[in-house]
Amino acid sequence: MTYENLLSRFLTYVKINTRSNPESQTTPTTQSQVDFALKTLKPELEAIGLTDIHYLESNGYLVATLPANDQSFTKKIGFISHMDTADFNAENVNPQVIENYDGKAISLGESGFELSPKEFPNLNHYLGQTLITTDGTTLLGSDDKSGIAEIITAVEYLSKHPEIKHGDIRVGFGPDEEIGIGADKFDVTDFDVDFAYTVDGGPLGELQYETFSAAELKVDFIGRNVHPGTAKDQMINALQLAIDFHNQLPENDRPEKTDGYQGFYHLHGMSGTVETAQSVYIIRDFEDTNFQERKDKVQEIAKTLNQAYGEERVIVTLKDQYYNMKKVIEKDMTPINIAKSVMESLDIKPIIEPIRGGTDGSKISFMGIPTPNIFAGGENMHGRFEYVSLETMEKAVDVIIGISSYQA
């Protein structure tokens, strides 16, 4: 179905910089997210006629309700998307709208970059559709402003069409998902639903209830710096320690060499001098046993290196971030079965595969609200080659409406 406000709403959202900041100690981590919630989204929810609209300073969530119009619907359902965008340039986003895509390479403004089906073959799925791309200088922000636009468009449509019966629908827009802390303070009691969906997936049909379990690993290396001319048997190079540590990890357990259910260690930051150095990794795996083995492995490597030096020069700090929500959702597959049934009724083929990542739903599920993930449409997210199909976004709205009005 075509929704008159969907495209304009999305274009408005993506032009607002809401990038999160991992170095900040505030909630949300950037004021721009607060402003987006209160100055852009809240007035829209009020205009649509939602009730109990409130912003929670404790966790940065904007929450609202579309009240039930049929009391025979006994389940309260929630839809959640995040306001922040990832760690790529998000200032002065200038989206391009490409109508009736012809299958050729798309020039990304004057940046010199292009979006080519030779490099990104998924473009071939969108012939004849309307694509929204970047101008090559920023990300787009489809992750997850597509989800926000889709949820608000769906509740707007339901509000204008009372002949579509539904129960209580709760919507929530939160901060800081991209830096892994957005749902840490999620208020389950305030949200008060039986189950929810994050609208934060990728291409058409994605329906996901398995995620990685995740941990952050920081390894500090303590060296001893002396003049290199007299360094023999005296210098301990912290940077070399970092290299030695990394080289003892399994060579093929890296993101670029894994897929499916394979886990990995991902080195995404390294800094230092001869005196001190630090490496930062993320650890990912699906199964509890494998996840624990990966964490044990880094402890063993550190222990071996410290024993070789006869003192502690490698210090490991591990922090679990989230866990595979499958353990919660598989106890009651109702939200999956509903979404699957709705997609099939709309001639959308459900793609039920594990997420090689995580969503806010990972944490929220363990807090007590089963929260699988459904598609929002974005492709090539988090960079200059990001794009989304308007037709896929429209189908996401169809699915949200279908789930909201589903009566078993």
DSSP states of 348-381 = ---B---BSS--HHHHHHHHT----EEE---BST
pLDDT band at 143 (very low <50, low <70, confident <90, very high): very high
Provide the 3-class DSSP secondary structure of residue 289. Answer: helix
Which CATH number fits the domain 5-210+324-405, given the four candidates 3.30.70.120, 3.40.630.10, 1.10.1200.10, 3.50.50.60? 3.40.630.10
- Averaged pLDDT, 195-217: 96
Residues assigned a catalytic role: 84, 177
- Averaged pLDDT, 5-10: 98
CA geometry: angle 252, 253, 257, nearest 5 deg: 60
Quote the CA–CA distance of 74 and 332 in Å, as a whole number: 16
Per the CB < 8 A criterion, the answer to whether 18 and 24 are in contact is no
- The answer to whether domain 5-210+324-405 and domain 213-322 are alike in fold is no
- pLDDT at position 358 is 83
Which residues sit in the known binding site? 82, 143, 178, 200, 382
Backbone angles phi, psi at 125, to 5 degrees: -80, -10
Listed by start position, the domains of the chain span: 5-210+324-405, 213-322
pLDDT band at 407 (very low <50, low <70, confident <90, very high): confident
Per the CB < 8 A criterion, the answer to whether 148 and 85 are in contact is no
Q: What is the largest CA-CA distance in the chain?
A: 84
Which residues sit in the known binding site for Zn(2+)? 82, 143, 178, 200, 382
Asked which of 78-87, 329-338, 356-365, 374-383 is least confident by mean pLDDT, the reply is 356-365
Quote the CA–CA distance of 157 and 401 in Å, as a whole number: 8
Backbone angles phi, psi at 9, to 5 degrees: -65, -50
Check if CATH label 3.30.70.360 holds for domain 213-322. yes
Average pLDDT over all residues of the chain: 97
Going by C-alpha positions, the residue among 343, 283, 352, 364 that lies closest to residue 318 is 283
Quote the CA–CA distance of 160 and 408 in Å, as a whole number: 24
pTM of the model: 0.91
| pLDDT above 70: residue 170 | yes
- Averaged pLDDT, 30-55: 98
Task: Give the model confidence (pLDDT) of 233-280 as tens digits.
Answer: 999 999 999 999 999 999 999 999 999 999 999 999 999 999 999 999
Residue ranges in 106-251 assigned as alpha helix (H): 142-160, 188-191, 238-247
Q: If you count them, how many residues does the chain have?
A: 408
- Helical axes 288-309 vs 238-247, angle rounded to 10°: 140
Strand partners, 132: 97, 388
Strand partners, 284: 214, 264
Token pair, residue 367, equals: 């807090």
pLDDT band at 408 (very low <50, low <70, confident <90, very high): low
Quote the CA–CA distance of 38 and 53 in Å, as a whole number: 10
pLDDT band at 172 (very low <50, low <70, confident <90, very high): very high
